[in-house]
Structure 1
Amino acid sequence: MDADFVYLLAGIALLLAVVLPVALRSAALSAPVVLLGLGALMGLLPLPEAVRLTPGDDREVIEHLTEFTVIISLMGVGLALDRPLNIRAWGSWRRWGTTWRLLLVAMPLSIAATAWLGWWVMGLAPASAILLGAALAPTDPVLASDVQVEGPTTDEDDETEIDEHDEVRFALTSEAGMNDGLAFPFVHLAILVVGAGSLADWGVQWVAWDLLGKVVVGVAIGMASGWALARVAFRSRRPSIRTAETGEPLLAIAAVLLSYGLAQVAHGYGFLAVFACAMTLRSMERTAEYHALMHQVIERLERLLTLVVLLLLGVAISGGLLDSLSWRGAAVGVVLLLVVRPVTAWIALRVGARRKHEVDGEGLGPRERLATAFFGIRGIGSIYYLAYATGHEHFERADTLWSTVAFVIAVSVVLHGITATPVMRWLDDHRTAAAAR
């Protein structure tokens, strides 16, 4: 990409990141929708070919840009969640029940259904179909800010009151925090199917290492690094390095890079490590304002990176990225967003679900369950997974995969970006009315 255009693009994205959130506050329209549309319009201009990112020529740039955007987003999600997760308390695990059901039931069902549609409807080879399902598995609520939690809150008078009370926003945010990493085993499955001859060659390795081992390594490193950084920030014997007292929020960025780098070097899943690190940081001194300071820095960087990626995606879409999209691929994309995700998430949320407010307010009513199932927003993680996989193996009809994934993201950004504000407002109004009775 032309270096001068990088400055211009970053400037445009930063300006819009400052202006759009306030300008669109009262509109049923999200900033990602505007940025994607603006990028598409820019793509129609007679821009030099050097400024257009293409999967073939710029795959590594795309991979690393989206990789960095995702890990910044994951730190933001981990710091924003107020509901604690105590791994030694069963009650704490139960309060995350909606998240576990979305991850362990909805996501595998969605991957399987999408892969089957890719094979049966689009005629993809098995490895390419699996990759399509895995790449489109992660959800990304940052692309519709109205469906994610707002950020860390504190209550200096009573720490037990720090919790998430909006189950829909909590479910969607926590799901996105974890499924970015938990989709990785299925990306590796697609890579193994291409490179190995038979199930006997890779089956045991995939289950033991890619599905289980790397998850454990990533989570363990994330928790350890988060605990160590929290001890330094809040309880170091040397006041000069207690960053919680000095108010230096850049520790959050250091935490992102350290946890991700350590996990990657140890061959674990770095995405899970970053989220676990953020959750562990958030668990110490929960009433400290320092968490909000770190989250603000991450949120601003995340917003800038996301808007840059969406501008580039818009430029690529109008510049020919959708040339390999067939009506079958478009149909699969629409079915994924309107049928596969809502149905699989609805089934997952019904499995073992308790009545709303039955135990400490945990649970989803019919309206909340429907909204949670609908907002399966696809985003930047899908681009990263596709770039990562195509860089490791040659997949048949890779151009079709890129076109289909780009189409799904574009439709998701517009569909969910337009509906997020009115739907969440409807839920809030209904919740307020029910509480007043």
Structure 2
Amino acid sequence: MSAEIFIFAGAVILLSAWLPLILNGSPLSLPMIAVAAGWIAPVFTGIEDPLVTYGGVIEHVTEIVLLSAIYGAGLKVDRPFNFRRWGSTWRLLLVVMPLSIAALAALAGWLIQLPLATAILLGAMLAPTDPVLASDLQLGPPGVGEEGESRFALTTEAALNDGLAFPFVLLGLQLTDGSAGTLAGLGHWFAVDFLFSTLGGVAVGAGVGIGLVQFNRILPEKWRLHVSNSGLAGLALAFVTYGICELLEVNGFVAVFCEAVAVRNTTQGFDYAQRLSHAAAQIERAVMVFVMLFFGFALSHGLLEGTRLELVAFAAAALLIVRPVATAIGFLGSGHERSTRTALGYFGIRGIGSIYYAAYVVAHHPIGWSHDVLTTTALTVLLSVVLYGATSPFAIRRLLPGGG
């Protein structure tokens, strides 16, 4: 068995490097190929429900790929942190995402007949746009240039909303088990799980990033981190930052992004930042392929069982109605060009983040999910992979500066 595992792992990593060269500009994407391969591959034969059986494993594997993507996205942000200049990011996070969660919850209650708590949970699981599957839409490497407001906003939103969706996932779970069913329970959620966790993540991430840069500057030149020429050092620091947040029970995904932005904002020169970003992207792509292969296998082993028209309609509406309408409302009076608002409304890609939250709920809170929730999440992710994979070459050329 070990020989087959090594051959399979090597083939996956090789394909993650090779296939993008072949697929460039075509209506096929690496995630689409990975899902299809997982769907038809005779791997783990006999497992009835891979997500339930390996929920804990999937949770940690998706954590790794999200950490790599979030850290890499933070390093790409050349724009100095400024509340006004990051205005499009705040609109996406503070207006569009809550509106999307509320709309998805209402749609789930009406269309799928889910209870309120479960509907909120589903809305939160599907709220984050994906920094992994949307990598073609993001900013270029550090120092290359922002390539327009759309790319800046999509990059920063995707990197931050994976973490900012987590408090709302917890809210859905706490409403399900009754712990947030009172005014006092809701107050505890808002104060601890939302405010303290989010602000704590910002403080830890910024503190670690700025502290490392300052410490590195006082070292003799021959001992400074960039001399090692290792692109993995930054990713290792992201893991350390995330681990500290786990110990302190604050938001680790938010912390990792803030740490990467702090490093990028306080470091002069682009060479080492580009090496750090490149290493994160390589790990992200390889692990993403494993996740999407497993997702395809889960689809073929019962994850779509019980699919009905209402669930398909919900998945389509989540991507094609909820996201564009919420974005249109969120950017009222913003002054952004129509092409920017259209791009931000269209590219609401769902993927690894939603899979992570599904695995988290299954592994830690078995009373918080139902098969309809898992099936609807899977349908939305699958539709997202196919829709954006097939249309992104054309849409990028039309909507995103520097895309053609």
- Would you call these one fold, judging by a TM-score over 0.5? yes
Write out aligned runs for 1:28-427 (5 A).
28-42=27-41, 45=42, 48-49=45-46, 54-85=50-81, 92-153=82-143, 164-196=146-178, 198-233=181-216, 235-350=217-332, 352-354=333-335, 364-395=336-367, 398-427=370-399
CA spacing shift, 1:427–1:313, aligned 2, 3 Å: same
Deviations 1:176-230 (A, max 9, x none): 0110111011011012112225323411101111111100111100011111222
The whole-number CA distance in structure 1 between the counterparts of 2:7 and 2:76 is 31
What SS does the corresponding residue of 2:50 show, helix, strand or coil?
A: coil
The answer to whether the 8 A contact 1:146-1:421 is kept is no
1:18 equivalent in structure 2 = 17
Q: Which stretch has the larger CA shift, 24-33 or 283-292?
A: 24-33
Shift of 1:168: 1.2
The answer to whether the 8 A contact 1:32-1:144 is kept is no
Shift of 1:115: 0.9
- TM-score, normalising length from structure 2? 0.94
The answer to whether the 8 A contact 2:397-2:403 is kept is no
Residue identity in the other structure for 1:416: Y
CA spacing shift, 1:6–1:268, aligned 2, 3 Å: farther
Shift of 1:319: 2.2
The answer to whether the 8 A contact 1:390-1:398 is kept is no
Residue identity in the other structure for 1:139: T
The answer to whether the 8 A contact 2:91-2:331 is kept is yes
The whole-number CA distance in structure 1 between the counterparts of 2:277 and 2:295 is 26
The answer to whether the 8 A contact 1:195-1:393 is kept is no
Deviations 1:68-103 (A, max 9, x none): 211111101111122120xxxxxx211111111011
Deviations 1:225-245 (A, max 9, x none): 111222344x13233430113
Shift of 1:430: 10
Deviations 1:321-349 (A, max 9, x none): 10032221111111101100111012112
The answer to whether the 8 A contact 2:73-2:131 is kept is no
- TM-score, normalising length from structure 1? 0.87
Shift of 1:396: 5.9
The answer to whether the 8 A contact 1:232-1:241 is kept is no
1:157 equivalent in structure 2 = none
What stretches of structure 2 of length at least 5 have no aligned partner?
none
Residue identity in the other structure for 2:395: V
Deviations 1:24-77 (A, max 9, x none): 2232332112222222222xx475235x86122211111111112111111011
The answer to whether the 8 A contact 2:109-2:119 is kept is yes
Shift of 1:5: 5.5
Q: Alignment identity in percent?
A: 38
Residue identity in the other structure for 2:14: L
The whole-number CA distance in structure 2 between the counterparts of 1:299 and 1:165 is 19
The answer to whether the 8 A contact 1:62-1:384 is kept is yes
Shift of 1:384: 1.1
Residue identity in the other structure for 1:152: P
CA spacing shift, 1:428–1:389, aligned 2, 3 Å: closer
The whole-number CA distance in structure 2 between the counterparts of 1:10 and 1:232 is 38
Aligned residues: 403
